[in-house]
């Protein structure tokens, strides 16, 4: 393999922000200095490259001088740190209301997934795969997003099996009636 340099079209401040989040996580875990293959800055850069370009983690990891397993571990660690900072639905709806948006849109999409496997018992007593969508006739997870009228999502739900997570519809009706 031949390594090469490339430009990433994200602000330097974003790399610094993610780096500080990762440093705080490492301190909280009690990770000793200089025991990781990448610094917080390089790990943040690694994850932002992956999020922006969606390159193969094995190849991307090799470019950063880390193994495939470490690449997956560093990616998952950074995504968990970022996900922990995401607002919950109530916070997102409060923010949308405080910003004065007249309405929001709740929409969903079934995202293809070929590596999810879990079985459950159907209403008829038959064993079925919980990640199988009868509507799409394929495997996947339902991702719900709350969208502002300008198209930006103040809130995105992790993949769910059901069409709407418990309480979303009633919470949306409450917030809409309250404003």
93 and 72 share one domain: no
Structure pTM?
0.64
Residue 174 has pLDDT above 70, yes or no: no
Specify the pLDDT at position 111. 66
65 and 115 share one domain: no
User: Which is more confident, 163 or 66?
Assistant: 66
79 and 140 share one domain: no
120 and 166 share one domain: yes
- Is 5 contained in some domain? no
Q: Write out pLDDT tens, residues 1-30.
A: 666 677 888 889 999 999 999 999 999 999
- Is 1 contained in some domain? no
Q: Write out pLDDT tens, residues 59-113.
A: 999 989 999 999 999 999 998 898 888 777 778 778 888 888 877 777 776 666 6
User: Which is more confident, 129 or 50?
Assistant: 50
Specify the pLDDT at position 23. 95
Q: Write out pLDDT tens, residues 112-157.
A: 665 566 677 777 888 877 666 666 677 776 677 777 777 777 777 6
- Structural contact between residues 21 and 81, judged by C-beta atoms closer than 8 angstroms: yes
- Is 2 contained in some domain? no
Q: Name the token pair of 74.
A: 């560093």
Helices 12-29 and 40-53 meet at what angle, rounded to 10?
120
User: Which is more confident, 161 or 18?
Assistant: 18
User: Which is more confident, 59 or 172?
Assistant: 59
Query: How far is the C-alpha of 54 from the C-alpha of 50, rounded, in Å?
Result: 5
- The total domain count for the chain is 2
- Is 6 contained in some domain? no
Specify the pLDDT at position 114. 59
Specify the pLDDT at position 77. 92
Domain of 111?
A: 89-178
* Total count of residues recorded for the chain: 179
122 and 55 share one domain: no
Domain's final residue, options 38, 57, 84: 84
User: Interior CA angle at 13 toward 7 and 15, to 5°?
Assistant: 60
110 and 72 share one domain: no
- Is 170 contained in some domain? yes
Q: Name the token pair of 168.
A: 């979303």
Specify the pLDDT at position 173. 42
74 and 27 share one domain: yes
170 and 148 share one domain: yes
Query: How far is the C-alpha of 179 from the C-alpha of 177, rounded, in Å?
Result: 6
Query: What is the 3 state secondary structure string of the chain?
Result: CCCCCCCCCCCHHHHHHHHHHHHHHHHHHCCCCCCCCCCHHHHHHHHHHHHHHCCCHHHHHHHCCCCHHHHHHHHHHHHHHHHHCCCCHHHHHHHHHHCCCCCCEEEEEEEECCCCCCEEECCCCCEEECCEECCCCEEEEEEEEEECCCCCCCEECCCECCCCCCCHHHHHHHHHHHC
70 and 95 share one domain: no
């Amino acid at each position: 393999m031949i390594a090469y340099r490339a430009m990433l079209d994200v602000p330097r401040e974003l790399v610094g922000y993610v780096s500080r989040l990762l440093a705080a996580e490492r301190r909280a875990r009690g990770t000793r200095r200089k025991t990781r293959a990448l610094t917080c800055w390089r790990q943040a850069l690694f994850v932002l490259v992956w999020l922006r370009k969606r390159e193969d983690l094995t190849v991307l990891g090799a470019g950063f001088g880390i193994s495939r397993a470490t690449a997956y571990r560093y990616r998952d660690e950074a995504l968990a740190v970022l996900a922990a900072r995401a607002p919950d639905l109530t916070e997102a709806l409060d923010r949308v209301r405080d910003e004065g948006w007249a309405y929001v849109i709740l929409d969903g999409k079934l995202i293809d997934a070929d590596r999810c496997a879990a079985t459950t018992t159907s209403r008829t007593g038959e064993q079925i795969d919980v990640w199988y969508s009868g509507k799409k006739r394929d495997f996947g997870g339902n991702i719900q997003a709350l969208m502002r009228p300008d198209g930006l999502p103040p809130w995105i739900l992790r993949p769910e099996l059901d069409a709407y997570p418990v309480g979303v519809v009633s919470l949306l009706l409450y917030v809409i009636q309250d404003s």
